[in-house]
Structure 1
């Protein structure tokens, strides 16, 4: 374990869900629309979204691969082309800490981590399957959030912060569930990176102001974790499978349809939508979307704001440079393979969040070893990134 002399705030931790995370609390009238999981005779799981097969990722209910093992898997794949991602899964790797809050606190203690944002593994990847059905979407998100309240709670001992899943697919449903989870104690909420609502509007359209105003008043951060927005029509036009498993997507899909583009367009919509001026206590967190896109986005937005001076600004034209506004309300948790020091130079240490992605294979096995990515920064900047930025957002320091 990396010894920093203080305990940290990990902004990108994950749990593994129970098989009934969407079906346990589904309202009876929506039972046939539920996301369900059933175990086959061979021990593998079959997941359906209503009556549609789900295949975006291999779902891990009872076995997984080891934290930080992705690169070893890539090496093994080079030597054994027939190897599949699931070949590394074992039940021994599925620790109680990935399923239970008290066990997770014990694990964090052993890692030198004080606080963590805990996000779904499977749950963030299902909304795209339901975008054509408002009732199915919200019935399943409500059910998931109630499961989350059962198994983890939105806050556990003021150390684990687990965001409920929300959606702007339909305004009134969004506000109703937001009000419910805030009343239940949520301290952070999640929206998938997606620049539009479900009603032909930007998510920053004043039409949604009642939703954003509630978050602003409560000073609740909004997390955008990499999710399932896959731009299926473009994939088809490029000859790719729009429903490919995430581990089996083409290089074009990885590069242009998954990850960078959704979060750039989402932050672009929020910032051009003048959200910071309208809701100055709102903070937006990019979690596990990488950071290579940040420099390009800020340069692009500064330039195109000027080019659009004669265009429409439904919520008012933002005052000042977009790159400076970004630094006032947007936080980024980078990938461990990113140039984190360059990111810090671009947006400032105050806007960078340490995130390990533990216990996922693409994450860091020893979370606090993230410090090695910012080894050349002054110690006060390191502490901001490793602890104080997130602790301030959650008012726990």
Structure 2
């Protein structure tokens, strides 16, 4: 393990959902419309909205991929002649209770020198897209999921080790307000919203549509940030336009064009919708963060925001680029250029995320420090901000900074 003289805060930790995460508390009238786990011989399949879903091809998570085994692939450092597929290593879920047990996970955090982690879903990141045609089922399913999540992991338990993020859909604006009120009353310090257009009965909506202002207002007032984590955002429709697959599949060989076309467009467009449609102008205290979406979208977004502000100065009451720098925190991929990101948005808005225990993440979370520039480019204090303080600032828990 990487040695730090402080405990780090990892904003990208994951659990693996048990099979009843969406069904334990789901009302009977939505049993066939929401998430079902169906046994087909020896195989368990996820059926969502009465269709087989392949976002997670093995929803039992058994066997499960080893943490960090795809590191070389995502760094672009696979040795010549080595089949990238051979990097994938599998293990038994039974040997890793920490993937689904809160108490067991605490023991792992101690070994990893992590004080607090943002706990995020795996399977659940594909549910809203699969149910976007049925908004009542979407809202009921995510509420059932949030009940399970608080029951098994807790949104914000007294020990402070896990800040577990409930999921909020804006598809039904009135129900979204109720859900936000519900999770805030239970102590949530962070919520997740899918980085995607909001499903609607007639047509999709921008995240910046004023219909969603009651949600943003509540979160801004509570000081609870919005996390946008990599999900099925429906952007494979772009790939389908070019002859590719229009359905998300978690693993398997893909047409390389798919990644080129839609790689980080969802998070780019999500942040654009929030800024251009004036969410931060109406709610200046609202904080949002991008997790597991990389950071290279930031540079394209800034270029386009500057051009938009020049072309339509009458639209912007505030500088859109400054709103990006003031209201948005970024957790870059470990292979990203952290120095360039700091020069662009400031070191105070960068957070470290390991994606543990996913295979594309880091086997040792705090080894992220190896990808942060060394002194004098980054001071000790700068590195500590990325590894700890900025995340605590985001959720309003940086007691040390507040005391100073």
Q: How many angstroms does 1:104 deviate by?
A: 1.2
RMSD: 2.2
- 1:252-331 equivalences under 5 Å are 252-258=257-263, 260-309=264-313, 313=315, 317-320=316-319, 322-331=320-329
Distance 1:17 1:282 in 2: 29
Question: Does the CA contact (< 8 Å) of 2:132 and 2:199 recur in 1?
Answer: no
Moved more, 146-155 or 350-359: 146-155
Distance 2:142 2:198 in 1: 18
Question: Does the CA contact (< 8 Å) of 2:61 and 2:93 recur in 1?
Answer: no
- 1:380-391 equivalences under 5 Å are 380-391=381-392
Alignment deviations for residues 160-218 of structure 1 (CA, whole Å, 9 cap, x no partner): 01111111112111111111111122111000101445254321122221111111111
Question: Does the CA contact (< 8 Å) of 2:49 and 2:131 recur in 1?
Answer: no
Question: Does the CA contact (< 8 Å) of 2:223 and 2:396 recur in 1?
Answer: no
Q: How many angstroms does 1:324 deviate by?
A: 1.8
Is residue 2:6 matched to residue 1:6? yes
Is residue 2:201 matched to residue 1:202? no
Q: Tell me, what secondary structure is at the counterpart of 2:251?
A: helix
Distance 1:302 1:93 in 2: 52
- 1:5-24 equivalences under 5 Å are 5-24=5-24
Match of 2:165 in 1: 163
Is residue 2:251 matched to residue 1:247? yes
Distance 1:380 1:98 in 2: 32
Moved more, 243-252 or 171-180: 243-252
- Give ranges in structure 2 of 5+ residues lacking alignment: 399-404
Distance 1:126 1:213 in 2: 26
Q: How many angstroms does 1:121 deviate by?
A: 0.8
Question: Does the CA contact (< 8 Å) of 2:236 and 2:248 recur in 1?
Answer: no
- 1:319-358 equivalences under 5 Å are 319-320=318-319, 322-358=320-356
Moved more, 188-197 or 12-21: 188-197
Distance 2:325 2:72 in 1: 36
Is residue 2:363 matched to residue 1:365? yes
Q: How many angstroms does 1:350 deviate by?
A: 0.3
Q: How many angstroms does 1:28 deviate by?
A: 1.2
Distance 1:174 1:76 in 2: 48
Q: Tell me, what secondary structure is at the counterpart of 1:291?
A: coil
Q: How many angstroms does 1:15 deviate by?
A: 0.5
Q: How many angstroms does 1:232 deviate by?
A: 4.2
Q: Tell me, what secondary structure is at the counterpart of 1:126?
A: helix
Is residue 2:51 matched to residue 1:49? no
Is residue 2:126 matched to residue 1:128? no
Question: Does the CA contact (< 8 Å) of 1:64 and 1:94 recur in 2?
Answer: no
Match of 2:92 in 1: 91
Moved more, 274-283 or 355-364: 274-283
Question: Does the CA contact (< 8 Å) of 1:224 and 1:287 recur in 2?
Answer: yes
- Cα 1:119–1:247 change in 2 (3 A) is same
Match of 2:402 in 1: none
Q: How many angstroms does 1:252 deviate by?
A: 2.2
Q: How many angstroms does 1:60 deviate by?
A: 4.6
Distance 1:286 1:178 in 2: 19
- 1:173-192 equivalences under 5 Å are 173-192=175-194
Moved more, 368-377 or 56-65: 56-65
Distance 1:216 1:261 in 2: 26
Alignment deviations for residues 293-345 of structure 1 (CA, whole Å, 9 cap, x no partner): 111211221122211236xx4xxx2312x222211110000111111121111
Distance 1:358 1:143 in 2: 25
Q: How many angstroms does 1:99 deviate by?
A: 0.8
Question: Does the CA contact (< 8 Å) of 2:71 and 2:362 recur in 1?
Answer: no
Distance 1:60 1:78 in 2: 33
Q: How many angstroms does 1:231 deviate by?
A: 2.7
- Give ranges in structure 1 of 5+ residues lacking alignment: none
Question: Does the CA contact (< 8 Å) of 1:65 and 1:93 recur in 2?
Answer: no
- Cα 1:155–1:230 change in 2 (3 A) is same
Distance 1:332 1:130 in 2: 28
Distance 2:312 2:199 in 1: 23
Q: Tell me, what secondary structure is at the counterpart of 1:37?
A: strand
Distance 1:268 1:339 in 2: 22
